[in-house]
Amino acid sequence: MQSRIALLILALITMLSVVTAQEDNSWMAWKNDIGNTRWLMYHLEKSDVEILKEKWNAVGQSLEKNQTEYSGSYIIPAYMSGYFFRWSKEAGYVFVRFFDVEHPCYFSFGDVELTGSVIRFIHKGESSSSACPPSSSGRPAEEWIPALGGQYLVPRSELKEFIDYYSGFNDFNGHLRKPDDKIPFPIFWGKTDENQPKFILPDDFSSFIKSPLNGEIISVGKTRTRRSKIFVFGSDKAETITSVTIDLGRKHGLKTKQEFILLTDDDGTSETLIVTSVGQSHSKGVVVRTINDKGKEGFLEWDNESDAFVPKPFTKLRPGIKITTSPLSKI
């Protein structure tokens, strides 16, 4: 009899422990209002998570009452590693690094100071530790500048790189078709003005601004198929190349091997226009396109009705198709 009572007590203790553990672990998953549908918080200490939620919600409540120009929530929407932050003039900022989509691994917070076009993050505290990948740095930059009418917020030290991204120059030329084609600067999370941005950078920083190269295809030549050299997704893949002439040249600043995005409804990650020779006002190039599993030019596009990717044909190449170096044209 005593042994049965002892076993019953042990079972009750075990059940209570399981329930208690489940209750204690509830803090590890947080349904947030930005990024993914939830954040998995177990890489942080419980006490840190409580601070993060308090600071994050305080800024959110402040934004609901009074959202000043450019305040709000921003995100680097990378798949493997990136960051979120939100800020308001009254409640300050919260900055959260994450990896693998939904795993916050570090955060910091502080006050915000506005001086003209410059937004300063004044550090006040951070999580007790970081579980982020080594490639991820810690605290955010101290000074930030609104760009493209507030669609982006850019560290002041990275304005040159942002303009290269905006224009599609240097490391960002051909950005869309590269394997690491993530948006490299924090973009505003929420509804944005669909009209043309009022500015690229504020007047104080206008010296950084460069314009993309914009033009059009003026003639189209023959198409042939070759083994993949640009869109290399497997050893047995092929791609098409079509010769074209464009209305840009040396006098516009065009260089050999510069790449352009075709301004059609097609997927910009699956085609590119590469300049092969440069003339004074007209130049030669090739349009390179992916071939689908059926051996035809095409790309995959997500279909909400079937909840799957479906094959789509490219727009037929023709004179008059507009082109640009800027990756933002299809973001």
The more confident residue out of 9 and 99 is: 99
Q: What is the mean pLDDT of residues 151-162?
A: 96
- Looking at residue 194, its pLDDT comes to 67
- Looking at residue 306, its pLDDT comes to 85
For the cut 70, the answer to whether the pLDDT of residue 10 exceeds it is no
Lowest-confidence segment of 1-15, 85-99, 202-216 by average pLDDT: 1-15
Confidence of residue 224 (pLDDT cuts 50, 70, 90): very high
Q: Are the C-beta atoms of 72 and 189 separated by less than 8 Å?
A: yes
Share of the chain above pLDDT 90, in %: 66
Which residue stretches of 66-168 are H helix?
159-167
Q: Which of 75, 5, 6 lies closest to 35 in space, CA to CA?
A: 75
Q: Are the C-beta atoms of 177 and 270 separated by less than 8 Å?
A: yes
CA distance to 6, 17, 99, 145, per residue, from 10 (Å): 6, 10, 41, 61
Q: Which of 262, 257, 256, 266 lies closest to 230 in space, CA to CA?
A: 257
Distance CA 166, CA 176 (A): 12
Confidence of residue 182 (pLDDT cuts 50, 70, 90): confident
Amino acid residing at 222: K
For the cut 90, the answer to whether the pLDDT of residue 305 exceeds it is no
The more confident residue out of 331 and 241 is: 241
CA distance to 54, 83, 127, per residue, from 139 (Å): 19, 11, 10
Q: Are the C-beta atoms of 255 and 249 separated by less than 8 Å?
A: no
The neighbouring-strand residues paired with 107 are 96
- Model pTM score: 0.86
